[in-house]
Amino acid sequence: MAASAFGQCNLLPRTASVNPQKSHRQLYSLSFHRQSVNSSPPALSFTQSIGFGSAIERHCVDRNESDLFKTDAVRQLNGSVISAKGHRFAIVVARFNDLITKKLLEGALETFNNYSVREEDIDVVWVPGCFEIGVTAQLLGKSQKYQAILCIGAVIRGDTSHYDAVVNAATSGVLSAGLNSGTPCIFGVLTCDTLEQAFNRVGGKSGNKGSETALTAIEMASLFEHHLKPSE
């Protein structure tokens, strides 16, 4: 049976020298004690001084180790990025803005090679633009041939609202593809205001986002394959 507890709070005047020309406020000492009925020493002691130029003192002692939050029994599931050997991946690439998307693809392929993914285990599917990525990724995911699908594209803001429409469609399309197929679909579509921003993200000062997309795909493939795969 859990031990009951009680608390006591006292507000007492505190003697302190204060310059009367600067302040006429009286300092108080606020004390709170919480103690278990079954234990003689206090479980929690808290003292706070309130007033002009006051300091706060806190003292917390817990002698009951059974009250500590323990995580030894919590099972934690993680994907591995040590090696992706044996996993198959599909990469859906938008042809529009191919000056950018080709570099994203190169970054993804280089990363796959570094993580022991064989070339024959990678299928690259080209689509006209970012709007067509979602439906293509969903069909590839439903085929159950791949452990993850990479979705690569680039949308550069122009003078019209077309940018917002394409970005929203690409984002929701990739999300729906993963949810409907049960296969991780990784969002690797750049959404930039300028062409310069895009080039910075395909090997410039911001790195290559295609490579980051591939790393995400490797981790999610491992997580699903080893921990979240439905039992047959």
Residues annotated catalytic, as ranges: 162
- Sign of the Cα pseudo-torsion (139, 145, 149, 154, in order): negative
> Helix H segments across the chain?
98-114, 133-142, 162-181, 195-200, 209-223
Length of the chain: 232
Q: Which residue in 161, 160, 185, 157 sits closest to 172, CA to CA? A: 185
Q: Which residue in 86, 124, 126 sits closest to 108, CA to CA? A: 124
Residues 117 and 85 sit within 8 Å (Cβ to Cβ): yes
Q: Are strands 28-36 and 5-13 parallel, antiparallel or unpaired?
A: antiparallel
Give phi and psi for 189, each to the nearest 5. Answer: -95, 120
- Sign of the Cα pseudo-torsion (76, 78, 82, 86, in order): positive
DSSP E strands: which ranges in the chain? 5-13, 28-36, 44-50, 56-59, 89-94, 122-127, 148-156, 185-192, 202-204, 207-208
What type of residue sits at position 37? V
